[in-house]
Structure 1
Amino acid sequence: MTDEQVIRTLIENWVAAVHTGDLDAVLADHAPDLVMFDVPPPYDGVHGLDAYRDTWPGFFEWQKSGASFELESLEVTAGADVAFAFALLHCRAADGDPRQLLRLTIGLRKIDDRWTVTHEHHSFPHDNSAAPEIRAVLDRWSADTTAGNLDALMEPIAENVVSYEIDGNYSGKQAVREVCAAGLASSPDAITFTVPDPTVESADDLAVAWSVDHVTADGTETTSRATRVFRRTGAGWQLIHQHLSYPAS
């Protein structure tokens, strides 16, 4: 095999070992003095094979929940005794967003005529790209409220949602559905619900949005303060918590 093919097989075997939780196979082909920049701290990296070994048991426990660790793409470039590879991997919980990919760069050296990993860099992109998607959820809620479409209103709500409503606290999607159904039935005319200029902050699979909501029913407009927490799943962003209130008079 060419050096590129040897390295590709090495990395594919490493990915398979990570996915199955085979620690000995994960450590194979790694230099004693390797440095890894991982997703979690420390920021100056994990130094040495012993420290590298210690990072894996917790990850293996997380994988037992049904998480994935699979290659999406892999590119390898090899010189006479130095090589590097970069890859994208699916590394997510069972209900995680398949568009969220782990980025991986690997540096290798040929030591005693054997390719050996001397550096790994793992990361996820960090940005606020969730904001347009969260605002789209709020916009759909506005349209679905006006249309009186209860089923559509429920689609982005998680089964285990906890909602602190104006009139009480509710746990579970069915309880929130009953609250929304009562709200829609409270007015003979269409109800308007708008969220002007919500603020959205996100990281990884979590997003928080806060706003002042405007609701008009029976010709009367009211405003309330709202904080909402969303989690990104394979089905899209889902509401897992909301807190609504009026200021005390």
Structure 2
Amino acid sequence: MTYTAEREIVALCGKLEQAHHDKDADALMACFAPGAVIYDLAPPLGQRGHDRSEVQAWLDTWQGPISLTAAEVDLVVSGDLAYSSALNRIGGTKTDGANVDLWFRTTMCFRRTGSGWRILHGHSSVPFLMDGSDRAALDLRP
């Protein structure tokens, strides 16, 4: 792993956090490679690439800035590919007044392109209770 590659990927993740904070769909989408595989918290089960109008519609459900931070980050770089795993925390106030403070898991794969590092694959999830209720475990904290 090179220090430069690690620093560039950390900067890319910082841009992703800032794009959420600013509710900037274009900046958020610029962090991803075209056709990136996305397994997000919201349906569908998976998709290739982001639809800008869907991203903006989701960002518009937040009243103000969206806080997105990562903890327990593990980043591995090998040549032009890298992956990371982390616990992420998203917070803010929705337009209906609901306060959000949610921890979830994220794994991302990155590829170095001619225009820098981009997210090639993103997978976010929350565990679900194995007690037969199939309810998402949304109250977990690291």
Shift of 1:154: 1.4
Aligned partner of 1:220 among 81, 94, 100? 100
Shift of 1:171: 1.0
CA distance in 2, matches of 1:239, 1:181: 19
Match of 1:134 in 2: 9
Instruction: Specify the code of the residue in structure 2 equivalent to 1:234.
Output: G
Instruction: Specify the code of the residue in structure 1 equivalent to 2:38.
Output: S
Instruction: Specify the code of the residue in structure 2 equivalent to 1:198.
Output: V
TM normalised by structure 1 equals 0.46
1:64-213 to 2 correspondences below 5 Å: 127-129=1-3, 130-167=5-42, 168=44, 169-173=46-50, 175=51, 177-213=52-88
Q: Considering only aligned residues, what root-mean-square deviation do their CA atoms show, in Å?
A: 1.5
Identical-residue share of aligned pairs (%): 27
CA distance in 2, matches of 1:183, 1:195: 20
Shift of 1:240: 0.9
Shift of 1:183: 2.4
Match of 1:9 in 2: none
CA distance in 1, matches of 2:59, 2:89: 15
Aligned partner of 1:233 among 105, 113, 126? 113
1:21-32 to 2 correspondences below 5 Å: none
Please list every run of 5 or more consecutive structure 1 residues that lacks an aligned counterpart in the other structure: 1-126
Match of 2:56, SS? helix
Shift of 1:231: 0.4
CA distance in 1, matches of 2:34, 2:59: 21
C-alpha spacing 1:158/1:180, structure 2 compared with 1 (3 Å): same
CA distance in 1, matches of 2:69, 2:55: 15
- Large movers: runs of 4+ above 3 Å: none
TM normalised by structure 2 equals 0.77
Shift of 1:131: 1.9
Instruction: Specify the code of the residue in structure 2 equivalent to 1:200.
Output: L
C-alpha spacing 1:179/1:165, structure 2 compared with 1 (3 Å): farther
C-alpha spacing 1:197/1:140, structure 2 compared with 1 (3 Å): farther
Higher helix residue share? 1
Shift of 1:202: 0.9
Please list every run of 5 or more consecutive structure 2 residues that lacks an aligned counterpart in the other structure: 94-98, 130-142
Tell whether the 8 Å contact from 2:40 to 2:123 is kept in structure 1 after alignment.
yes
Task: Name the larger-Rg structure.
Answer: 1
Match of 1:211, SS? strand
Tell whether the 8 Å contact from 1:138 to 1:195 is kept in structure 2 after alignment.
no
CA distance in 2, matches of 1:245, 1:178: 22
Tell whether the 8 Å contact from 1:213 to 1:224 is kept in structure 2 after alignment.
yes
CA distance in 2, matches of 1:211, 1:183: 22
Shift of 1:212: 0.6
Match of 1:242 in 2: 122
Larger RCO (CA within 8 A; separation ≥ 6): 2
Tell whether the 8 Å contact from 2:111 to 2:118 is kept in structure 1 after alignment.
yes
Shift of 1:178: 4.0
CA distance in 2, matches of 1:213, 1:179: 21
How many residues align? The count is: 121
